[in-house]
């Protein structure tokens, strides 16, 4: 199949932009990218989907989010809530305890559909449902499979609900990782999910590492999101959070450290030394008032910093835009953050994927997975290799995404989800949410 007749932003440094371009898809992969006339001549008889001038881009990647938070949209918090700890206690830890396996499915359904609508083809999710732990990751994987989105899933291990839930969480991660981290498929991968240092004792981390022994894949954990995480680690263990995790052997190229807002320069260098990915979530950090991650400094130190939404929005383009303006504002430098925001979303998120998936994602070139989108974006100024980043950061948003393909199959065409009954899933979620809200 040829998808063509529009500008192509490839993300491939060797061929970054094609004016009147086309992409050839065969099976689950891209086999060619080039000018539409050349592509048609080289592939006679191949059917072409004419995108009518829409922008063709690689599928977007969200490197950190939480589908379990889906019912929180529009929900009121009735308790006085003035700190990050109180946000966890009054909102997230009340909500996740109410979730059943059916809720887990519904939340995955609405979250993954909204991701596809915003052009996100790969989602790294961090799940929690303490009263419905066992089987939760497989339920989410089943929903992702029905919708047709690529995912990395993990369960948020924590001490906060007692020894039984802790043991169930450890078992859930280990079982799921063993099942999915194989060469047989590349649509869903597992990481070992941990909440954060301040909700995990030494004994719990020892149990986690013992269970993880011999299982392929890394960890996905919140690191120094708020100042209290570092203070807790120093008070209880005499070490900062990153050092503590390193002492347990948890850092490495397949581990994702979300946030890192309060990580010290030494901790950042340690993460860099272990080749561990950091994921920046600017909306969430601003909204929770936890502080500003030093993203420009992190990148200057050579860290692989990716970009997530932390469930604040399904629109990773919006997250890139906020990453830009947050860095500019924080450093009081209007030029700061522009290149960095693009690097997070369009260079480093694909690099993070390449540590888990066998073929490259987030890039349109021969040999990468056919995860791509078309964007109904009409530029009012020249769109070319040099200006593409500016158009992305100042002109595009997720609701302009018209078509989404994952693994060579259309999941959305002309803004219609093709794989599942979207209206029914959203109706079920809307019916169920008030029962959850009433128990908050």
Q: What gap in Å lies between CA 237 and CA 223, rounded to an integer?
A: 15
Tell the smallest beta-carbon distance from residue 279 to Zn ion (Å).
9
State phi, psi for 320 to the nearest 5 degrees. Answer: -65, -40
Of 166 and 311, the one with the shorter C-beta distance to Zn ion is 311
Q: What gap in Å lies between CA 15 and CA 367, rounded to an integer?
A: 14
Q: What gap in Å lies between CA 101 and CA 409, rounded to an integer?
A: 28
Tell the smallest beta-carbon distance from residue 66 to Zn ion (Å).
6
Of 114 and 310, the one with the shorter C-beta distance to Zn ion is 310
Of 225 and 403, the one with the shorter C-beta distance to Zn ion is 225
**Position of minimal CB gap to Zn ion:** 310
Of 105 and 225, the one with the shorter C-beta distance to Zn ion is 225
Number of residues that bind Zn ion (CB under 5 A): 1
Tell the smallest beta-carbon distance from residue 440 to Zn ion (Å).
19
Asked whether position 156 contacts Zn ion by CB under 5 A, the answer is no
Q: What gap in Å lies between CA 243 and CA 246, rounded to an integer?
A: 5
Asked whether position 310 contacts Zn ion by CB under 5 A, the answer is yes
Tell the smallest beta-carbon distance from residue 300 to Zn ion (Å).
25
Tell the smallest beta-carbon distance from residue 258 to Zn ion (Å).
5
Q: Is the separation of the CB atoms in 129 and 104 below 8 Å?
A: yes
Q: Which stretch binds Zn ion (CB under 5 A): 157-165, 269-277, 303-311, 314-322?
A: 303-311
**CA distances in angstroms from 57 to 10, 113, 227, 398, listed in the order given:** 6, 19, 38, 12
Q: Which stretch binds Zn ion (CB under 5 A): 90-98, 132-140, 302-310, 391-399?
A: 302-310
- Binding pattern for the stretch 345-384 against Zn ion, x by CB under 5 A and - elsewhere: ----------------------------------------
State phi, psi for 37 to the nearest 5 degrees. Answer: -65, -45
Q: Which stretch binds Zn ion (CB under 5 A): 54-62, 304-312, 388-396, 417-425?
A: 304-312
| Burial class, 375, CB count within 10 angstroms (exposed 0-12 / middle 13-18 / buried 19+) | buried
Query: Where are any strands of DSSP class E within 349-408?
Result: 372-375, 401-406
Q: How many CA atoms lie within 13 A of 352 on its CB side?
A: 37
Number of H helices, E strands in the chain: 17, 18
Of 310 and 422, the one with the shorter C-beta distance to Zn ion is 310
Of 33 and 154, the one with the shorter C-beta distance to Zn ion is 154
Q: Which residues bind Zn ion (CB under 5 A)?
A: 310
């Amino acid at each position: 199949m040829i998808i063509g007749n529009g500008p192509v932003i490839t993300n491939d440094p060797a061929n970054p932009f094609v004016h009147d371009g086309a992409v050839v898809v065969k099976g689950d992969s891209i086999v060619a990218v080039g000018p539409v006339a050349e592509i048609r001549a080289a592939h006679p008889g191949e059917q072409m989907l004419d995108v009518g001038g829409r922008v063709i881009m690689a599928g977007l990647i969200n490197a950190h989010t939480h589908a379990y938070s889906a019912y929180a949209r529009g929900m009121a918090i009735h308790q006085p809530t003035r700190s990050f700890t109180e946000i966890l206690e009054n909102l997230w830890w009340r909500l996740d305890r109410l979730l059943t396996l059916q809720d887990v499915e519904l939340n995955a359904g609405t979250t993954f559909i909204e991701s596809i609508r915003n052009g996100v083809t790969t989602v790294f999710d961090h799940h929690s449902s303490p009263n419905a732990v066992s089987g939760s990751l497989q339920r989410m994987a089943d929903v992702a499979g029905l919708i047709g989105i690529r995912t990395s899933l993990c369960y948020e291990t924590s001490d906060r609900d007692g020894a039984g839930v802790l043991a169930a969480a450890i078992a859930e991660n280990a079982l799921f990782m063993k099942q999915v981290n194989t060469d047989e498929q590349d649509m869903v991968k597992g990481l070992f999910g941990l909440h954060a240092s301040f909700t995990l004792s030494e004994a719990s981390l020892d149990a986690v590492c013992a269970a993880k022994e011999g299982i392929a894949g890394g960890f996905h954990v919140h690191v120094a999101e708020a100042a209290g995480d570092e203070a807790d680690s120093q008070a209880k263990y005499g070490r900062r959070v990153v050092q503590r995790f390193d002492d347990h052997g948890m850092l490495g190229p397949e581990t994702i450290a979300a946030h890192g807002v309060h990580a010290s320069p030494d901790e950042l260098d340690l993460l860099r030394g272990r080749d561990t990915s950091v994921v920046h979530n600017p909306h969430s950090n601003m909204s929770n008032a936890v502080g500003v991650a030093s993203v420009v400094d992190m990148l200057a130190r050579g860290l692989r910093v990716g970009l997530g939404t932390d469930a604040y929005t399904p629109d990773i383009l919006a997250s890139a835009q906020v990453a830009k303006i947050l860095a500019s504002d924080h450093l009081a430098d209007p030029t700061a953050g522009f290149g960095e925001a693009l690097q997070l979303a369009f260079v480093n998120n694909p690099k993070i994927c390449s540590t888990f998936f066998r073929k490259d994602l987030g890039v349109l070139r021969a040999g990468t997975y056919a995860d791509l989108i078309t964007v109904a974006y009409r530029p009012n100024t020249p769109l070319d290799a040099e200006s593409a980043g500016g158009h992305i950061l100042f002109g595009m948003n997720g609701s302009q995404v018209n078509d989404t393909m994952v693994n060579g199959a259309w999941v959305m065409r002309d803004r219609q989800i093709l794989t599942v009954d979207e209206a029914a899933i959203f109706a079920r979620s809307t019916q169920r949410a008030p029962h959850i809200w009433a128990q908050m």
